[in-house]
């Protein structure tokens, strides 16, 4: 087979804007029917009535085409696809050489060859569409060209015949390769002997051409998506450095251990006044379209943050942007601003998993944050409330997408237990090692994740961010734990979350009955504020001392000046028991007036008496 001009690389544009093409059941049935028709035609082409062995050969040929079709569906490159087609060669189909020519502007460009000899500096074929060449005619008309002998080729295409060396080849076939009904290239096949281009032979070659065209599109789309995944991975790379007093580590693993693109991302940027912004998000879907939306949304959020908008305003604008960009997709997201001088974090959440707070001694708490709907959905009046947390020295905040939690068949609860098991051990000093250990717990034994050599496959994309407030001095010999949260008047459901976080703070407390006591008393104090005042309740819990001899101190502060008084409620009373329980169950308690409002506190000793 020949062509004009010098050779070059296949540069046809990849179609990566939608889902990877998969052959559905209707297409499969169509192919089966085509092969059955091929079977009947092959038998009809033989002498009538056909001998038994001719019918058997026809059935065997149909089975071979189906087997090849299944193998082509898994081909990862055009070269592999041609090698699979070559297995069909036998005495009745003396296939010798093949070439795939991809439509590239005004010419057909060689993208894969099988069995061709290269001469001199030629490394491929390029056929301008205006030439009198059988492949160019196929590209112009969309109709296959069959040439059963050298005489037929010489008569129909004399110019192409004179420019080509056809030694050892005696018949040719050129068939269109189509994608979604649009011609994208030409498959050329040459044979070692002359062929009678019967209806059965033409149907056979057309069926193989259709299967090959689908395989080429899948392989090309897969290569383009892999290149896109690698590009996205490189563009995020390792997150930029933190700021003085704050350190950051990040990881990104696309679906399939890096073989398929998806919509997860993270980002960091420096804000005025030395503040640091972090964002993590997940666009719905695991395809190239999701990756494209992710890239645009990531850029938009960077722009809104650079304009100086707060966390809530950034997410409101990002939601409108995504809704205008694609009304059928949504995205979850967490955006935070960190002040390195104070450790104060201002966080807005849009339908994303809650972050995890790791205390210096390894205790992990799931931090329940108020939030709004995912980006791109209809917004309410209170769109994205801002949560305020204070990160203490040595504490680490973990942000992740749901792939880290749910990969491997886990739900949110069992996945959280797995993450906690990987996050707890060790000290907070090695932030990069901690990120590697978290990924290792999900994707299995591997090299360091930032090198990209993931041995396992993941069910979903994974994006991970770790933010640590660096210690400025030596840590205390006995580790301390702190919990701080605020419940607004419209957050009655936050009582359950507060109880969960307090239980997490006391996960290794020696006496389980005291944990129940602490949760009961804290619930009473928080409930009193929400029921009897119009103020928010601020809970602070501190644990200090050696294990087995620790002391828990819980304080609940509000801005109401009304001092509670201990009462003697009747048997059927629905309230008034809070201070009575404190007096019965706490080892110590009291009420402390504040410049504005008051604080009610209690203490429990791990080695104290069972009853106060």
pLDDT given at position 434: 93
Question: What is the percent of the chain with per-residue pLDDT over 90, rounded to a whole number?
Answer: 40
> Could you give the CA distance from residue 464 to residue 546 in angstroms, rounded to a whole number?
33
CB-CB contact of 37 with 50 (8 Å): no
**pLDDT mean over 184-207:** 92
pLDDT given at position 452: 40
pLDDT given at position 29: 40
pLDDT given at position 95: 93
pLDDT given at position 41: 41
pLDDT given at position 488: 87
pLDDT given at position 259: 44
Tell whether the model's pLDDT for residue 246 goes beyond 90. yes
Tell whether the model's pLDDT for residue 44 goes beyond 60. no
Confidence of residue 76 (pLDDT cuts 50, 70, 90): confident
**pLDDT mean over 367-381:** 84
Best mean pLDDT range from 301-310, 324-333, 403-412, 472-481: 301-310
From the number of C-beta atoms within 10 Å of its C-beta (0-12, 13-18, 19+), residue 26 rates as: exposed
pLDDT given at position 168: 86
Sheet strands (E) in 48-130: 95-104, 107-114, 126-128
Which residues make Cβ contacts (< 8 Å) with residue 439, sequence separation at least 6?
251, 253, 404, 446, 449, 462, 464
Q: List beta partners, residue 182.
A: 179
CB-CB contact of 288 with 16 (8 Å): yes
pLDDT given at position 454: 39
| 558 φ, ψ (degrees, to nearest 5) | -140, 170
pLDDT digits (tens, 9 = 90+) for 169-180: 999 999 999 876
Task: Report helix angle 512-532 to 578-585, nearest 10.
Answer: 160
Sort residue 351 into left (φ over 0), alpha (ψ -120 to 50) or beta.
left
pLDDT given at position 260: 56
| 100 φ, ψ (degrees, to nearest 5) | -115, 125
**pLDDT mean over 244-263:** 74
**pLDDT mean over 292-307:** 89
| 27 φ, ψ (degrees, to nearest 5) | -65, -40
pLDDT given at position 55: 63
Q: List beta partners, residue 246.
A: 469
The residue behind tokens 């069992």 is: 414
| 543 φ, ψ (degrees, to nearest 5) | -120, 125
Confidence of residue 326 (pLDDT cuts 50, 70, 90): confident
Q: Is residue 19 classed as helix, strand or coil in its secondary structure?
A: coil
Q: Which domains does the chain have, with CATH numbers?
A: 25-227 (3.30.450.40), 237-469 (3.60.40.10), 481-605 (3.30.565.10)
Confidence of residue 332 (pLDDT cuts 50, 70, 90): very high
Q: List beta partners, residue 356.
A: 366, 398
Confidence of residue 190 (pLDDT cuts 50, 70, 90): very high
> Could you give the CA distance from residue 481 to residue 258 in angstroms, rounded to a whole number?
38
pLDDT given at position 577: 64
Tell me how far apart the terminal alpha carbons of the chain are, to the nearest angstrom.
96
**pLDDT mean over 254-278:** 77
pLDDT given at position 347: 97
pLDDT given at position 612: 57
pLDDT digits (tens, 9 = 90+) for 535-573: 889 999 999 998 899 999 999 999 988 877 665 554 444
Tell whether the model's pLDDT for residue 64 goes beyond 70. yes
pLDDT given at position 97: 93
Tell whether the model's pLDDT for residue 43 goes beyond 70. no
The better pLDDT of the pair 446, 300 is held by: 300
Q: List beta partners, residue 485.
A: 539
Which range among 112-126, 185-199, 415-429 shows the weakest confidence by mean pLDDT? 112-126
Give all strands of the β-sheet with 276-283 in edge-to-edge order: 264-270, 276-283, 331-338, 344-350, 387-390
pLDDT given at position 239: 63
pLDDT given at position 604: 94
The better pLDDT of the pair 300, 119 is held by: 300
pLDDT digits (tens, 9 = 90+) for 123-169: 467 899 989 999 999 999 999 999 999 999 999 999 999 887 778 89
Instruction: Tell me the pLDDT of the chain averaged across its residues.
Output: 80
pLDDT given at position 49: 45
pTM for this prediction: 0.61
């Amino acid at each position: 087979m020949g062509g004009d001009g010098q050779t070059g690389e296949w540069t046809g544009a990849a179609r990566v804007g939608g889902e990877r093409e998969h052959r559905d059941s209707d297409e499969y049935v169509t192919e089966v029917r085509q092969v059955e028709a091929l079977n009947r035609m092959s038998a009809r082409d033989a002498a009538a009535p056909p001998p038994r062995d001719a019918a058997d050969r026809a059935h065997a040929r149909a089975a071979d085409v189906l087997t090849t079709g299944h193998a082509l569906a898994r081909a990862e490159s055009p070269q592999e696809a041609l090698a699979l087609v070559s297995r069909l060669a036998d005495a009745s189909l003396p296939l010798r050489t093949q070439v795939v020519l991809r439509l590239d502007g005004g010419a057909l460009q060689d993208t894969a060859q099988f069995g061709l000899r290269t001469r001199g500096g030629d490394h491929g074929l390029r056929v301008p569409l205006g030439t009198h060449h059988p492949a160019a005619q196929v590209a112009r008309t969309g109709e296959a060209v069959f040439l059963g002998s050298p005489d037929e080729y010489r008569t129909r295409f004399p110019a192409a015949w004179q420019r080509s060396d056809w030694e050892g080849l005696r018949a040719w076939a050129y068939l269109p390769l189509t994608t979604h009904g649009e011609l994208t290239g030409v498959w050329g096949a040459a044979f070692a002997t002359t062929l009678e281009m019967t209806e059965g032979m033409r149907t056979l070659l057309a069926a193989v051409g259709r299967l090959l065209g689908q395989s080429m599109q899948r392989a090309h789309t897969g290569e383009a998506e892999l290149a896109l995944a690698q590009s996205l991975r490189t563009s995020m790379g390792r997150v930029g450095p933190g700021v003085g007093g704050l350190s950051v580590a990040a990881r990104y693993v696309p679906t399939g251990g890096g073989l398929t693109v998806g919509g997860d991302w993270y980002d960091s940027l420096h804000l005025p006044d030395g503040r640091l912004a972090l964002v993590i998000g997940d666009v719905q879907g695991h395809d190239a379209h999701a990756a494209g939306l992710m890239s645009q949304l990531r850029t938009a959020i960077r722009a809104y943050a650079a304009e100086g908008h707060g966390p809530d305003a950034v997410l409101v604008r990002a939601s409108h942007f995504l809704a205008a960009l694609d009304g059928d997709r949504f995205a979850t997201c967490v955006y935070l601003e960190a002040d390195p001088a104070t450790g104060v974090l201002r966080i807005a959440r849009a339908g994303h998993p809650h972050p995890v707070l790791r205390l210096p001694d390894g205790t992990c708490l799931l931090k329940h944050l108020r939030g709004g709907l995912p980006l791109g959905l209809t917004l309410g009046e209170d769109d994205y409330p801002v949560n305020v947390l204070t990160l203490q020295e040595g504490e680490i905040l973990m942000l992740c997408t749901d792939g880290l939690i749910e990969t491997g068949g886990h739900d949110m609860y069992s996945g959280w237990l797995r993450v906690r098991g990987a996050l707890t051990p060790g000290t907070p000093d090695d932030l990069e090692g901690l990120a590697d250990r978290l990924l290792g717990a999900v994707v299995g034994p591997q090299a360091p994740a930032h090198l990209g050599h993931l041995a396992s496959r993941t069910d979903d994309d994974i994006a991970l961010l770790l933010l640590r407030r660096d210690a400025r001095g030596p840590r205390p010999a006995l580790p301390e734990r702190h919990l701080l949260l605020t419940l607004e008047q419209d957050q009655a459901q936050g009582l359950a979350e507060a109880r969960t976080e307090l239980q997490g703070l006391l996960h290794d407390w020696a006496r389980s009955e005291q944990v129940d006591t602490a949760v009961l008393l804290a619930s009473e104090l928080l409930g009193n504020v929400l029921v009897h005042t119009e103020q928010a309740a601020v809970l602070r819990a501190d644990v200090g001392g050696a294990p087995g001899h620790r002391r828990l101190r819980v304080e609940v502060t509000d801005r109401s000046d009304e001092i509670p008084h201990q009462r003697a409620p009747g048997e059927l009373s629905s309230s008034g028991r809070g201070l009575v329980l404190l007096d019965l169950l706490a080892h110590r308690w009291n009420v402390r007036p504040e410049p504005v409002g008051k604080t009610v506190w209690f203490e429990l000793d791990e080695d104290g008496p069972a009853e106060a």
